[in-house]
Structures are given as structure tokens and as C-alpha cells.
Structure 1
Amino acid sequence: METPGNEERRPPTVPEGIPLLDEEAKLPQNERPELLIITGMSGAGRSRTAAALEDLDWYVVDNLPPRMLAALARMMTPGEGGVHRLAAVVDVRSREFFAELVSVLDQLRLQGTDYRIVFLDADDDVLVRRYESVRRPHPLQGDGRLLDGITEERQLLAHLRRRADVLIDTTDLSVHDLARKVREVVAGESDRPLRLTVVSFGFKYGLPLDADHVVDVRFLTNPYWVSELRHLTGTDEPVRDYVLGQRGATEFADRYVDALAPVLDGYIDELKPFVTIAVGCTGGKHRSVAMAEAIAQRLRDRGQSVRTLHRDLGRE
């Protein structure tokens, strides 16, 4: 026991004077493992919810037997390259195994595993219409009517609905509305930036098949006809200065990025996360490369996530 003037001595630190690390320091919030249990009524949008989470880089497992949840949760690892955001779709398709779900969830809590339950629901008449449109039987329908399967499932899931952390009623939601709801409510990523790729190419080799926008910079004088620049590429400073130093070159890059602003906002609204901008010249070596880099940098300056790709460099 400590007495005045005789405080308990703490182990030394190296270098001297640096405070000891808190042994119970928690991981930063953005590195803590997250586990989502996706469940709910068949036809209410579980698959679309799983797809939306996959688009947000969650690791998604569909139709998982409940007894596998604990083992799967132990595989989660924080940090770069690990599985730290896991979503498991668990529902009545697992048949007799589904009855184990409640006890498995209770066991996870006892083991200190944090999770959230996301429950998808919709009105019975909407579920009936959705099943009739795809002409598939309800997993609990058996030899009865479609509505019999829906009624039985609603009874089986009543306790899960009550303990759900997030309840999403998809009665009046389109597939795009549901994806937005998942981003906002479940994943907390409504403001996730786009992922832009600016790719240079040569028209003589054909257009990139995945291009959303095509920019033609053959209006600029070609450095190929300057003997000192012919062997260089648009990534080299002399070529870059030659291309961007021409009348109208920087103005074009500035105004093109300005014109893209409302388009990119629209892509966010329409849940199109990946956009490819193709910048072309004759051979894809000089002008397109320099302009692609200039456009990419301007987009980065506006807070966009951008990578550059020079498809045809070295092809000549």
C-alpha cells in the first residue's frame, strides 16, 4: 500500500520520461472490426443490401449457417489488408440451422464480440408481388400458398425484429433507394468519394472499352515531330511543359474539370462509384499522357480519389 513520500515506483520508460502506453488502449474507431448480421423477410431486400455492402468493400457471406458465425468473427483482423468489416446474411434458408441463431448471438455477446443486427422488412402484399414477379417459391411455402410461407416466416423472425439495431422497411424503396439507405444508415458512408481512373490511350489502338468519358487532345501540336522529344513520354518534364505550354492547353484542362463537377455529383447520387475518363491522342505516348496527368491532378485538388493509367505507353 502506498504511503505519503513513498509512492509506488513505476517501471522506467525508454527514453526516460516517455509515459507508459495504456495497456488497454483501444483501436482507433476506423480500425475496429465491425460485424453486421443481415436478416429479415425473404423478398425484403437482403441480397440487395449485401450487394451494396460489397460495393463498399465489406466482406459479405451469404446464407451462412448461424453456428459458423463465431468462427467467422474470429477471423476478423483490424488494419490494412485484414477483414475488419464483415457482413453475414443469415435467414430461414438455413432451415433447421436457423433455430440456433439466437443462442449463437447470445454467445457472441458473452465472448465480447460486438455486432449489429440489420432487419429488412416489407408489407405482405409487396412481398407477394415481388415473389410473383420472379416466379420463385418462398423458402417456407412447402405445398401451401405463398402467403402461408410469408406468415410462418414472420412468426419465426418476430424476436429478431424486436432486437434489431437497424430496421429498414423496403415497402416503398426502389433498389437504388435501398442502396442509398444502406450507405447512410448501415455503413455510414453516404459521403464516400468516387473512385476515378484517368487513362491515357492512343486512338490508333482503339478506345478503352470501359470509358465513361472520352477526351480528344489531338488538337494540340504533337511532340512526336520534335526530334528532341520524340523518344520521351508525357511523364517526362520536357514533354509535359511542351504540351501544357501550348495555347489553350491549361485552359482546356481547367474548364473540362469544371464541366465534370455536376456530372460527378450526379454519379454519387446515382450510386455509380467507379468512373473512367479516357484521354486520347494519336499514339498514347505524349499529349494524352501529359493531359491525363494534368486532369487527374486538378481532380485531386478538388478532393477526388484519382488514379492514372497510361494504357499504350511502350506499345509503339
Structure 2
Amino acid sequence: MTGPDPAGEVLIVTGMSGAGRTTAANALEDLGWYVVDNLPPQMLGPLLELTELAGGALPKIAAVVDVRGRSLFGELPAVTRSLRDARHLRVLFLDASDDALVRRFEAVRRPHPLQGDDTILDGIERERAEVSAIRESADVLIDTTDLNIHQLSTRIVDEFSEIGAARHTVTVMSFGFKYGLPTDVDLVADMRYLPNPYWVPEMRALTGQDEQVRDYVLAQQGAQEFIDAYARALEPVMAGYQRENKRHSVVAVGCTGGKHRSVVAVGEIAERLRAFPGVEVKVKHRDLGRE
């Protein structure tokens, strides 16, 4: 993994057709790279000039360059050499065995871009000849023969994430059951097993963000035990999401109105999740402002 470069990073994504360029480009985009697909090599220089005029707004650029550019692709090695002196530039080359590439093209029922009237294997052989020079000068070579799309995405994240960057973002959300379950959630917890502060007159107008309510909720039998156990149960889930390259999740915690118990629990759970490696935690209180 590499850290950020003050001059801005440039990554050329290339390789064999069917080896996973689209998957790699999508993973890079999820990491915050600005991705340009099917760019002619001659346009790399002007693209970088435009990004410099953007004043650092696009610090990481990935350009997908491949044989779809036909005769233009042959200039990629020379263009790459000329740009290495001016910018922090790397080349990612994706490869796979001939057998794997043939199977992939047959599975999607599409011809190889260099196939013409011949077989898929003929197109692969022509492409190997065209990409051999850039393959030899690549900074990162990934063989995707035995990788599925999720495993390849994970490899891209491992290679191109900034040091210390979060690999998974979890939103911990409070809500009120009487307003309905949130629609886009991965896990739901229910705090209605605890006494409701709403029925304590001096706390009815307060929320779980007030210290008096927080102390009351956490003092109830089973509250601390549940929060501790639930956070521990989430630890392998967060680790598994990272292994499977699931970038975002929502953990919803509900009570009757989404104002007292769930708000307290969300604060406590979020604090524990922040200690998990590779996890960024966001907090949302969906129904806190409702009457």
C-alpha cells in the first residue's frame, strides 16, 4: 500500500481483455480515484495538464488504456516513459491464462476485440503480442486466473489504499419502531427490552444525548451487557465485510420512538466500533427530531 503523493498520483490500468480491468476500475473509483475509461495514450498528457489546472481537486487519477484503441495502443510504452519523469506514475497490468480468458469470453458471449473472423484464442494471441512491451515495464502485475471479482477487488484495495485508510464505513443509526423499520439496513437491534425513559416525567422532553437519560438507560439491568456483547459480535462481521470488499453497511438500533434508548445505545456501540481496525464509523439519529 502507498501513501498519498503531494503532486498527485497517476495510475495506468491496462492488461489483457477479460482479465478484470472493469472490476479494477470500479474498485479504484470506490477508493476515491478519478477513473477515465478507454483513454487513448496520446490523451494522457493533456489529461494530466487539465488535472493540474484543477488545483489538486483530482489528486489520484486512474486511466484505463487497452487495445480497444487499436493502433493507438502501440504508443502507450513511449507515452508512459515520457510521463514518468513529470508525475508519480505507475502502471497496473492485469493478466490471466489463455484458458481463463477464453472461458470468460465464452461466458459473456462476446468476441475478443482483436478476434475478427477468427477464434477467441487468435484474438488473445494477437493481444499478447501488442501488450508485451507495457507488461514488461509494469509496476504492479496481478494474475487474475484464479480470482473472482470480489477477490480481485480486495487485491486492488490492498495495493492502492492509502496507509491507514478505512476499508469499511459503518453507519450506526437510531430509529423508532413506531415510524417503521429503516429500508436500507444490514443489521437491526431492538432496545425495547429496557424501561422507557419517556414514562419518567423529568426525562420525557430529553433525549438519549442528554447525560441524565444516558445514565438512566445504562443503569438498567442488561443494558451494558447487551451493548458489550453486541459490539463483540459485530467485530467478526466488520472484519468479514472487509475481506469480502463490502465497503458500506448500516447497523440500525431501534426503540419505540427513536428518542431515548436507541440514541444512547447507538452512541455506546459507535464508540466501541471505532476501535476496530480498518473501520470508519458514522452516527445517524433518524427520528430524533420527530415529535
TM-score, normalization by structure 1: 0.84
Q: 1:108 aligns with which of 76, 83, 87?
A: 83
User: Residue by residue, what CA displacement relative to the aligned partner does 1:208-250 show, whole Å, maximum 9, x if unpaired?
Assistant: 1221110100011111112222222211222222222222212
Q: Return the letter of the residue paired with 2:262.
A: S
1:59 and 1:274, CA in 2 relative to 1: closer, same or farther beyond 3 A?
A: same
Partner of 2:65 in structure 1?
A: 90
Partner of 1:300 in structure 2?
A: 274
Following the alignment from structure 1 to structure 2, what is the Cα–Cα distance between the partners of residues 181 and 188? 14
CA contact (8 A) 1:60 1:87 kept: yes
| Match runs of 1:65-214 below 5 Å | 65-76=40-51, 82-110=57-85, 112-187=86-161, 192-214=166-188
Structure 1 segments unaligned to the other structure (5+ residues) = 1-27
1:188, distance to aligned residue in structure 2 (A) = 6.3
Give the alignment's Cα RMSD to 1 decimal: 2.4
Q: Return the letter of the residue paired with 1:142.
A: G
Larger radius of gyration: 1
1:206 and 1:298, CA in 2 relative to 1: closer, same or farther beyond 3 A?
A: same
Partner of 1:291 in structure 2?
A: 265
CA contact (8 A) 1:212 1:275 kept: yes
1:217 and 1:302, CA in 2 relative to 1: closer, same or farther beyond 3 A?
A: same
Q: Return the letter of the residue paired with 1:184.
A: D
Following the alignment from structure 2 to structure 1, what is the Cα–Cα distance between the partners of residues 56 and 230? 36
TM-score, normalization by structure 2: 0.90
Verify: 1:251 aligned to 2:218, yes or no: no
1:82 and 1:210, CA in 2 relative to 1: closer, same or farther beyond 3 A?
A: same
Following the alignment from structure 1 to structure 2, what is the Cα–Cα distance between the partners of residues 301 and 68? 44
Following the alignment from structure 1 to structure 2, what is the Cα–Cα distance between the partners of residues 138 and 189? 37
Identical-residue share of aligned pairs (%): 56
1:163, distance to aligned residue in structure 2 (A) = 0.9
Following the alignment from structure 2 to structure 1, what is the Cα–Cα distance between the partners of residues 238 and 43? 41
1:282, distance to aligned residue in structure 2 (A) = 0.9
User: Residue by residue, what CA displacement relative to the aligned partner does 1:115-135 show, whole Å, maximum 9, x if unpaired?
Assistant: 111111111121111001000
1:242 and 1:135, CA in 2 relative to 1: closer, same or farther beyond 3 A?
A: same
Q: Secondary structure at the match of 1:30?
A: coil
Task: Specify which structure has the bigger relative contact order, considering alpha-carbon pairs within 8 angstroms and separated by 6 or more residues.
Answer: 2
1:189 and 1:171, CA in 2 relative to 1: closer, same or farther beyond 3 A?
A: farther
CA contact (8 A) 2:41 2:79 kept: yes
Partner of 1:20 in structure 2?
A: none
- Tell me which moved more, 224-233 or 43-52: 224-233
Partner of 2:31 in structure 1?
A: 56
Aligned residue-pair number = 288
- Tell me which moved more, 66-75 or 306-315: 66-75
Verify: 1:224 aligned to 2:198, yes or no: yes
Following the alignment from structure 1 to structure 2, what is the Cα–Cα distance between the partners of residues 56 and 139? 29
Partner of 2:244 in structure 1?
A: 270
Following the alignment from structure 2 to structure 1, what is the Cα–Cα distance between the partners of residues 32 and 179? 33
Following the alignment from structure 2 to structure 1, what is the Cα–Cα distance between the partners of residues 179 and 77? 59
Q: Secondary structure at the match of 1:164?
A: coil
Following the alignment from structure 2 to structure 1, what is the Cα–Cα distance between the partners of residues 273 and 50? 37
Partner of 1:38 in structure 2?
A: 13
1:31 and 1:190, CA in 2 relative to 1: closer, same or farther beyond 3 A?
A: closer
User: Residue by residue, what CA displacement relative to the aligned partner does 1:159-208 show, whole Å, maximum 9, x if unpaired?
Assistant: 11111111111112222222222223344669844211100011122211
Q: Return the letter of the residue paired with 1:63.
A: N
